[in-house]
Structure 1
């Protein structure tokens, strides 16, 4: 073999030193293995890169800015989101469907016990504003337009307006928290013209918290045991098994008793978890329920925690027809409460009849609204401000608002206590005690 001559240069094609630096063929196993390693490295890389530039710092800056903006937003705004789920089948059946009335408003069917004269007479005060009154103190100011002096016909000599409330003794004993409702009643109402009837599923006449009021106000207070069969006489529920519906929350049976006693006796219903703030007689020109709150719940806009109907009212007669023809109430629901009132209201107006009135939310439920116009939480220590920045240090503005509305509905919460020297203690409870002290109820 002939050796290369000295000084000759090997061509690159035959340079074995370059062979190790050449890229493998795309069809080779080495090329495919290298591609897989690159893909795995890209997917697991802790930072972003593009054309060799690292964007980790930029990503961290953006993330930090978003966190800072979120903190600033949370500091400046309080977010409230309410979500409710309704079955469409239930909406179609129980809400949208409007059946004709049963004939209770036919003059031939109206009970002689119903006071048609009082129902038809001109009213002194209007209790519906025609606006939702969500801004500022509009609702409280509107409540102040209802004066302290009622229509003259409501103050007839020897006539007493019935007020009703209810307590289930098998769930919770009647004790100090329940007594506050009694104190609020006797401290705020026009006693020569009213009578409070405390209904129960047991005898409360010997209860130590009830007996002092029976002795002190024999003409303005009494206790009765609920007899649903007797109360339902003359209604569509007379003899029905539905009369024995109940649940462990006292919602179903409480709503039933509410309707039965106002039908059989007539008068104002007040839930036991309520503190009254002023005389209710000026409202009694009207038959009414109350607005649930200022949020205008589409399918549950009405509440019966404070309501008024005259004895054997055609409105209640129609309500019993609806109850008798509908499915049995579901446990722990407002099927015989808010849902029933809405159904009744829609049927009444569909028949061309003037409906019962709806008191604005703040008249009895001022704590159920937005932050800029709700009452402070009754069960927490006083904040520095309330209702959109109004001062609570001296309580003057809050005291003025409470003097315009008629009640504060507490929505159960029986296990909670009122804070010592809180606004409920100062502006309501202490004043009840002071007004009742001459009657011998001082603690």
Structure 2
């Protein structure tokens, strides 16, 4: 082919010519790569990208999530415990509304929605059974010290006096001097118990199940299973030990509920059991036990199996026309799990010099952050037991000091 003929070829044809292709590619990359780098840099300077990618195996979705098997029938009269009033539990009148109908990711809407739930003006009837709260501490995880004590302080400083807290454990905690001091100070309101899953499961579908002895699933046994068994046995509220309560939960207790995992609307992992409430012998829990027995066992060291369990049950309930349990919005107990511009500040980082939080609000006493904390019910700390709250930080100023003031600070470590 002559040079004149070649010069008449279209540009795309010249690009295809083997002799020109390497130089053409290099020339293209020479300008393309710097341009992309500048664009990416500009994006991070001007905008604040929020990117989250999760990949789910379609085979797993089609096998574990989408199929809806029948309920066991725990809401039917023949299987419902006399301790549970189905008419009231499912259809009784309610004073509060905990469903906003949207994810409330914008601004501080979730915190303000929490503030619409006001405490009841009615006096507590002391003749009625106490509201029972449950929590759990693994003796093989770490010693129980002042760091864990803040959860106890938060309970006794914020929850109504007509309530009690049971601390369950996989070992004997009665020899711990710090915990013994609480037993002595709050007789009838604080109790230590050992959680024996074989005893707790008696009378449930999990009794004698091989799931109770699966040592390779310890995270599931100590996490998802224990909380459901003890709440089924006694009824009441479950609170994870890595939680600081901020106000009385009583206004929520007309509902049975789990919580929203975060504000991102995860399709398959939207729910969380760090804070939950069910009545004694609740058919909801009965149906959860049935799903545990009939579903694929959790993976070893599973931390998301509970979230999947609650979703599975929710879908089966609505499929059979049973009103489902409620789902508390994320900020009610886990305001840290949302957008960068409206999540609670990191509890373990020092406050900035300007005491700024978000949307023009500050972290001072009586300031914007303080007001929002007064509307939500808890702050979930996510098991960061190796970290300490910074001196003078917002957690110390707006929560911890107030717990001590409310309790009179009479059971500090120095006085034990």
Which interval holds the TM-score relative to the shorter structure?
A: 0.7 to 0.9
1:178 to 145, 148, 173: 148
Q: Is the 8 A contact 1:290 1:307 kept in 2?
A: yes
Larger Rg: 1
SS of the counterpart of 1:250? helix
Over residues 298-326 of structure 1, what are the superposed CA-to-partner deviations in whole Å (9 max), with x where a residue is unaligned? 10000000000001000001111110111
Per the TM alignment, residue 278 of structure 1 is displaced from its structure 2 partner at its CA by 0.3
Q: 247, 259, 266: which is aligned to 1:278?
A: 247
Residue 72 of structure 1: how far off its partner (Å): 3.5
Quote the residue 2:113 is aligned against: 142
Q: When the two structures are superposed, what TM-score results if normalisation uses the length of structure 2? A: 0.88
Label 1:251 to 1:418 Cα distance change in 2 as closer, same or farther (>3 A).
Answer: farther
Compared CA separation, residues 47 and 304, structure 1 to 2 (3 A): closer
CA distance in 2, matches of 1:380, 1:196: 30
Give the 3 Å change call, closer, same or farther, for CA 46–112 of structure 1 in structure 2. closer
* Matching residue within 294, 309, 312 for 1:325: 294
Q: What whole-Å deviation, never above 9, does each CA across 1:223-274 have from its counterpart, x for those lacking one?
A: 0001111111111111111112355873442210000001111110000000
Q: 2:389 aligns with which of 418, 421, 439?
A: 418
Partner of 2:83: 113
Per the alignment, do residues 281 and 69 of structure 1 end up closer, same or farther by CA in structure 2, a change over 3 Å counting?
Answer: same
Residue 94 of structure 2 corresponds to: 123
Structure 1 unaligned segments of length 5 or more: list them: 1-38, 49-54
Whether contact under 8 Å (1:366, 1:374) holds in the other structure is yes
* Residue correspondences, number: 395
Cα RMSD (Å)? 2.6
Kindly state the Cα deviation for residue 65 of structure 1 after the two structures are TM-superposed. 6.2
> Does the alignment pair 1:85 with 2:55?
yes
Distance 1:40 1:103, change over 3 A: closer
Q: Which structure 2 residues correspond to residues 283-302 of structure 1 after superposition, within 5 A? A: 283-302=252-271
Query: Equivalents in 2 of 1:222, 1:439: separation in Å?
Result: 19
Aligned residue runs from structure 1 range 28-427, under 5 A = 67-116=37-86, 118-119=88-89, 120-149=91-120, 155-191=125-161, 193-246=162-215, 250-334=219-303, 336-383=305-352, 384=354, 385-392=356-363, 396-427=367-398
Q: Which runs of 5+ in 2 are unaligned?
A: 1-17
Question: Residue 420 and residue 166 in structure 1: after superposition, are their counterparts in 2 closer, same or farther (change >3 A)?
Answer: same
SS across alignment from 1:196? strand
Residue 283 to residue 391, structure 1, CA distance change in 2 (3 Å): same
